Amino acid sequence: MLATAVTELLGIDHPVVCGGMMGVGTAPLIAAVANAGALGFLSALTHPTPKRLAEEIKRTLELTDRPFGVNLTMLPTLRPVPYDEYRDAIIEGGVKVVETAGSSPEPHLPAFKAAGVKVVHKVVAVRHAVTAERIGVDALSVDGFECAGHPGEDDIPGLVLVPAVAARTTLPIIASGGFATGSGLVAAMALGAGAINMGTRFLASTEAQVHTNIKQAIVANTERDTRLVFRKFRNTARVVRNAVSEEIVDIERRPDSTFDDIAALASGARGRERALGMGLVDDGLWWAGQVQGLITDVLPVAEIVENIVGDAEKLITTRLPAAVRRH
C-alpha cells in the first residue's frame, strides 16, 4: 500500500483520485471508485438543482461506506448558479471532501472549514497555487496541459507544472492530466505529488454511465485525438477530436467569428445527450485527454485501481532498483 500525504489527508487507501466530470461523475462510478480504496468526486453541476445533488449524495451513500467527495466548479454562466445552496447541500449531506475549480473558493471556505470539509482546489498555474495556499485550501489538484477539460492559457505540461508548484507551496498535491498507468503514478510522486487524478481512464470503465461507443472510442483513439477549442475566447478546453470539435476550430479561425457562432455546437446538453448518452461520438463535444493514447481496454474500476497501484509498487520496489546501474 502506498501511503502519502494525500491518502492521509483524505482518508483513502490508494493515491488515486477520480476528479469531477460533468455528466459522468454520478453515484455508480463514484461509489465504485470509493469501494476500490480511491477517492471519487460527484459532479455537483451535473445535477440541475441543489436538491438533486443532495439526492445523488444519498444515493452514493447507499452504495459505499468509504470516503467520496463532490466537485463544485464555479465559472461565469449566462444564468446565475446558486453556488451557496450547492455548498450547503454538500455540507448537509455529510460529505467531507470537496474539489473546487474555476473561480476562487475563498467565499465558501469559512462554511466548509466550520463543517470539517477538506477543500482540494484545482489549479493550472503556479501563481494560482500560491494564492490557493494563502487563502487556506487543504490540498491542490494541479492540471497539466495534457488534461481533458480546461488546462488554462499558459500551456504548461505536468512534467514542469507539478514540480514547479511543489517548489512554491507546502500543500499536498494531486497531479492531473496524462495519467492512466502505474508508471505515471510513480512519475507523479517523483515530481512531488502525493496522488494522481484520472478522468479519461475512469471514463473508459465498466461503471461509467456513458454509452459504450464513447468507451470504445477512447480505446481506439491515440494521444493525437484531442482538439483545443475556445482558444480564441481565452477559455481553452481540451476535447475529443471529432466532427463537432473540428468544425468549432474551423469557425474560430475566422477573424470575424464570435462565440455565438459556435454556441449551438458547443452546447454541453448536446454533448451529454447525443454523445455520452446516445453514443453518437461525432455529434457533440465531449471531454477526453491526451492520455487516450495509453488506454487500451475498458475495465471495472476496481481492476483499474488495482493494476495502477500494483504496477507502481513493483516499479518502486523491484524494477527501478534493478534498472539502476551503479559504478
Q: In the numeric block, which cell numbers belong to residue 220?
A: 481506439
* Residue 116 included in any domain: yes
**Claim to verify: residue 263 and residue 138 sit in the same structural domain:** no
Q: Is 301 a member of any domain?
A: no
CA 196 to mean position of chain CA atoms: 10
Task: Please check whether residues 173 and 106 belong to one and the same domain.
Answer: yes
Confidence of residue 322 (pLDDT cuts 50, 70, 90): confident
The answer on 243 and 156 residing in a single domain is: no
Q: Give phi and psi for 69, each to the nearest 5.
A: -130, -175
255 and 133 co-located in one domain: no
Query: pTM for the whole thing?
Result: 0.95
Distance of CA 41 to the CA centre of its chain: 8
Does residue 214 fall inside a structural domain? no
Distance CA 39, CA 17 (A): 5
Q: Are residues 125 and 75 in the same domain?
A: yes
- The count of domains in the chain is 2
Does residue 303 sit within a domain?
Answer: no
- What pLDDT is attached to residue 296? 97
Q: What per-residue confidence (pLDDT) applies to 79?
A: 81
Say yes or no: 182 and 279 in one domain.
Answer: no
Residues 62 and 157 in one domain: yes
What is the domain extent for residue 146? 5-208+310-323
Residues 204 and 145 in one domain: yes
Question: Between β-strands 173-176 and 118-123, what pairing exists: parallel, antiparallel or unpaired?
Answer: unpaired
Report d(CA 282, CA 217) in Å as an integer: 10
Quote the pLDDT of residue 320: 85
CATH of the domain at 77: 3.20.20.70
Confidence of residue 323 (pLDDT cuts 50, 70, 90): confident
Asked if the structure places residue 213 within a domain, the reply is no
Output the pLDDT for position 220.
Answer: 98
- For residue range 200-251, list pLDDT tens digits in order: 999 999 999 999 999 999 999 999 999 999 999 999 999 999 999 999 999 9
Over the stretch 74-96, which tens digit does the pLDDT of each residue have? Answer: 987 778 899 999 999 999 999 99
Residue 319's pLDDT is what? 85
pLDDT of residue 1: 79
Is residue 112 included in any domain, yes or no? yes
Torsion of Cα atoms, 15 then 87 then 43 then 244, to 10°: -130
Question: What are the tens digits of pLDDT across the range 145-171?
Answer: 999 999 999 999 999 999 999 999 999
- Give the sign of the dihedral formed by CA 253, CA 257, CA 259, CA 260: negative
Residue 304 within a domain: no
